Each structure stands twice: as structure tokens, then as C-alpha cells.
């Protein structure tokens, strides 16, 4: 006999009440939408919650609670019962629950999930099971805005996150929000991870502390339409002649897609290296949002609009060791500085 039938019979004997409705008191249960608010750890692990889940559901929202740990088999186990798959489920919203840990197998039995939000949580990525996302390969939208616990070094975050994401070929992912996470590194490894998301259209990296980004135009993000880099710590750009540099890469992407980028709120250092950025702003076909509002962050050109500064005013007064992946020029200018001192 099926477990659910036994439950119904048992509660007919014991309580004769609320047995048919099967809806957790903190939830609103509709045939296709389940909304639960203010859950705690016991609620998420309760039988009443388990009974609220049906295979007809298309959207599940569990929000505004206090759930430190997402349990295994969050929405039921299909391992013991192969007929139990939430095939209709398209959207799972888990925002704002103080989630710190996500156990392996938390997100399975939902093979057609397209949208997952883990926004506003405190996920400690370094403890994460690398196979967290492997069962949701049809995902189109992943919201990890303000999702990570920020006490540990964000370099560790992004490195581990990379492993978690690499484990899963998210080839259908179109929207990825990673904003507000204190991310400080977007290096070649990060670029390679993003490259695996071959359908990506929108990437939000706003409100992090990224000083620079490396892209690989040849293979990466051919469908990119929107890149949000606002409110980061970008002070300057790699030379346009560097094919892994951001500006060159954006121009290559623009040839195939129509891409908009947001740079507002960065800390542009308006020295001689920024002249190249101004030239690029002036000639690129990439749609730069609020182009005229991009301003210099410090020095004599403080708060001047980059577009309005005459190009001769972008001057290098002192030794610059802030950019230059080019080791030889780094070294020679460094030596000069030592010599002067
Ligand atoms: C992600 O979730 C946050 C919090 O609800 C929301 O403000 C933001 O718009 C979402 N991002 C995307 C890309 O949907
Ligand atoms: C490209 O995108 C921008 C911004 O969304 C839009 O204004 C413009 O019309 C688009 N151009 C084409 C050719 O689609
Ligand atoms: C932008 O390009 C035009 C045409 O090449 C040029 O006349 C203008 O001075 C440039 N403006 C800036 C800010 O570089």
C-alpha cells in the first residue's frame, strides 16, 4: 500500500480533520502554486510540508524564513519511488531564508526546473557539495544575488563556486545574478567557467569588488546581451591589444550579439591608461549604459565625466603599478621608482 494512502487512513482514524487538505499551516496551497512563508528548520522537515507537495505543482515559493540547512530530499525523494518526479515544477524560490548549508540531493526530483532563486541567503560556499546543481540541467535562470556568507575570503568563494558550477553543464542557463556578493576575482578560471554557460544572455556582477575581468571572446558567451559591472572596483582596463581584455572581448561579442554593458559606479583612475578607454567609449558599438555619467574617481579630474575630458589631460604623473600584466614594463617602472627613492 502506498505511504500516502496509509497516512490518509491513519488520520481518518486518529483526527478525522484536516486530512484531505494536506496543507502546512504556514503555506497557501493551490493546485499549481505552493507558497510558504516564515518556515523554520522543523517546518521544512515536517510531514505536513511533505504532504503539501504534489506532482502538479509548477511553482514553489518558500521565503522569508529561518532555515539554516536545506535538507536532503527537500521536496521529496524520487530515489525510493521512481514515479515521484516533480515534472511540472518550473520555478523554485528559496529567497531570504538565512540558508547556510545546502545538502547534496537537496535539489533533485525536479528535472524540468527553469528558475531557481537562492537570493538573500548566507550560503557558505566552501562547504558546498560540488554536485549541488547536477540534477537541474534545464535551468534558465539562477539568482545568487546576496547569496553568500561574507565572513570568509571571497577568493575562496569564487574558487569553490567555480567547482560547484563546473560540475554541472548549465548549457541552457540564460540569466545569472551574482551581484552583491563581495566577489573580488574574475580571472581566467572564472572566464572558463562562464564559458560553459553557452546560452548566457544576462550576467549581473554589480555591487561586488572586482578590480578587473578577463574574458575569452572566441569561445565565451556568444549570446551575451547584458553585462552589469556597476559598482565594482574597476579603476582601469587592460590594453585593448590584449585579446583577453574586457574591452576587446566586448567588441567581439558585439559582432554576433547586441550587448549592453553597465560600468557606472566604478573607481576609474583617469591617468594616461584611461585614454584608451575613452577612445573605446567613443567608437565602440557596444551599448554602454549611462556613458556620459562615467566619471573619474580621484586626482585633478575628480568627478569629471570621462567623455568630456580632452584626451591630452589623461596624464601619467607617477609610477603606475596598478595595471600591467606585462611583467617587463611592471618591473622596469618599479625599478625606476626604487631608483628614485
Ligand atoms: C534576484 O533576486 C533579487 C531579490 O529578490 C531581486 O531583487 C533581483 O531582481 C533578482 N535578479 C534577477 C536577475 O531576477
Ligand atoms: C541594441 O540594444 C540597445 C539597448 O538595448 C537597443 O537600444 C538597440 O536598439 C539594439 N540594437 C539592435 C540593432 O537591436
Ligand atoms: C569621438 O570621435 C569623434 C569622431 O572621430 C571625434 O570628433 C571626437 O572628438 C571624439 N570624442 C572624444 C571624447 O574622444
57-66, 131-140, 159-168, 219-228 — most confident range: 57-66
Residue 113 sits in a domain whose CATH number is 3.80.10.10
- Angle at CA 16, nearest 5°, toward 10 and 20? 80
Q: How far is CA 154 from CA 74, 182, 183, 250, in A?
A: 28, 6, 5, 26
- For the record, the C-alpha cell of 105 comes out as 540531493
In a domain, 25, yes or no: no
- For the record, the C-alpha cell of 76 comes out as 521529496
Q: Is the dihedral of CA 158, 160, 161, 162 positive or negative?
A: positive
Average pLDDT over residues 91-100: 97
Q: Are 148 and 128 in contact (CB under 8 A)?
A: no
Which atom belonging to ligand 3 lies closest to the Cα atom of 278?
A: 14
Residue with the smallest CA separation from ligand 2 atom 12 is 258
DSSP 84: -
Residue 265's SS3 state is coil
Q: Is the CB of 282 under 6 A from ligand 3?
A: yes
* Model confidence pLDDT, tens digit, residues 241-258: 988 889 999 999 999 899
- Give 247 or 149, the one with higher predicted confidence: 247
Residue with the smallest CA separation from ligand 3 atom 6 is 282
In a domain, 78, yes or no: yes
In a domain, 66, yes or no: yes
* Model confidence pLDDT, tens digit, residues 162-191: 888 888 779 999 999 999 998 888 888 888
Ligand 3 center from residue 12 Cα (angstroms): 80
Q: How far apart, in whole angstroms, are the C-alpha atoms of residue 291 and residue 293?
A: 5
- For the record, the C-alpha cell of 85 comes out as 518526479
In a domain, 3, yes or no: no
- For the record, the C-alpha cell of 124 comes out as 557558505
Residue with the smallest CA separation from ligand 1 atom 10 is 143
Nearest to 230 by CA among 184, 267, 276, 284: 267
Average pLDDT, the chain: 85
DSSP 102: E
* Model confidence pLDDT, tens digit, residues 264-317: 999 999 999 999 999 999 999 999 999 999 999 988 889 999 999 999 999 886
* Model confidence pLDDT, tens digit, residues 99-122: 999 988 889 899 999 999 999 999
Which residue segment(s) compose the domain that 166 sits in? 36-340
In a domain, 28, yes or no: no
Residue with the smallest CA separation from ligand 1 atom 14 is 143
Q: Is the CB of 278 under 6 A from ligand 3?
A: yes
Ligand nearest to the CA of 278: 3
Count of domains forming the chain: 1
Position 318 scores a pLDDT of 59
In a domain, 26, yes or no: no
- For the record, the C-alpha cell of 279 comes out as 577612445
Q: Is the CB of 285 under 6 A from ligand 2?
A: no
Nearest to 153 by CA among 121, 131, 181: 181
Q: How far apart, in whole angstroms, are the C-alpha atoms of residue 60 and residue 106?
A: 14
State the CB neighbour count (10 A cutoff) for residue 308: 10
Beta bridge partners of 158: none
In a domain, 271, yes or no: yes
Which atom belonging to ligand 3 lies closest to the Cα atom of 309?
A: 13
Secondary structure element (H or E) that encloses residue 109, with its range: none
pLDDT band at residue 326 under the 50/70/90 scheme: very low
Position 167 scores a pLDDT of 83
In a domain, 56, yes or no: yes
Amino acid at each position: 500500500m502506498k505511504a500516502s494512502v496509509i497516512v490518509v487512513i491513519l488520520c481518518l482514524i486518529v483526527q478525522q480533520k484536516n486530512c484531505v487538505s494536506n496543507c502546512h499551516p504556514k503555506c497557501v496551497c493551490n493546485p499549481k502554486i505552493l507558497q510558504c512563508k516564515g518556515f523554520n528548520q522543523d517546518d521544512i522537515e515536517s510531514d505536513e510540508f511533505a504532504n503539501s507537495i504534489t506532482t502538479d505543482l509548477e511553482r514553489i515559493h518558500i521565503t522569508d524564513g529561518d532555515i539554516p540547512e536545506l535538507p536532503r530530499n527537500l521536496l521529496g525523494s524520487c530515489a525510493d519511488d521512481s514515479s515521484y518526479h516533480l515534472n511540472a515544477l518550473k520555478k523554485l524560490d528559496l529567497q531570504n531564508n538565512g540558508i547556510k548549508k545546502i545538502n547534496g540531493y537537496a535539489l533533485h526530483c525536479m528535472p524540468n526546473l527553469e528558475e531557481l532563486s537562492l537570493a538573500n541567503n548566507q550560503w557558505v560556499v566552501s562547504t558546498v557539495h560540488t554536485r549541488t546543481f547536477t540534477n537541474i540541467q534545464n535551468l534558465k535562470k539562477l539568482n545568487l544575488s546576496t547569496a553568500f556568507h561574507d565572513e570568509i575570503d571571497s577568493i575562496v568563494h569564487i574558487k569553490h563556486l567555480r567547482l560547484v558550477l563546473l560540475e554541472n553543464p548549465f548549457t541552457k542557463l540564460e540569466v545569472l545574478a551574482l551581484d552583491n556578493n563581495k566577489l573580488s576575482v574574475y580571472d581566467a578560471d572564472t572566464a572558463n567557467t562562464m564559458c560553459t554557460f553557452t546560452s548566457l544572455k544576462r550576467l549581473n556582477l554589480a555591487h561586488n569588488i572586482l578590480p578587473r575581468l578577463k574574458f575569452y571572446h572566441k569561445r565565451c558567451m556568444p549570446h551575451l546581451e547584458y553585462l552589469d559591472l556597476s559598482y565594482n572596483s574597476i579603476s582601469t582596463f587592460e590594453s585593448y591589444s590584449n585579446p583577453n581584455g574586457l574591452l576587446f572581448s566586448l567588441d567581439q561579442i558585439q559582432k554576433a550579439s547586441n550587448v549592453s554593458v553597465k560600468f557606472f559606479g566604478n573607481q576609474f583612475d583617469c591617468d594616461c591608461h584611461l585614454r584608451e578607454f575613452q577612445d573605446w567609449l567613443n567608437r565602440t558599438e557596444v551599448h554602454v549604459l549611462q556613458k556620459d555619467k562615467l566619471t573619474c574617481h580621484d586626482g585633478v579630474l575628480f568627478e569629471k565625466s570621462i567623455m568630456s575630458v580632452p584626451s591630452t589631460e589623461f596624464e601619467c604623473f607617477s609610477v603606475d603599478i596598478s595595471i600591467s600584466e606585462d611583467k617587463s614594463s611592471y618591473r622596469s617602472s618599479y625599478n625606476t621608482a626604487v631608483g628614485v627613492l
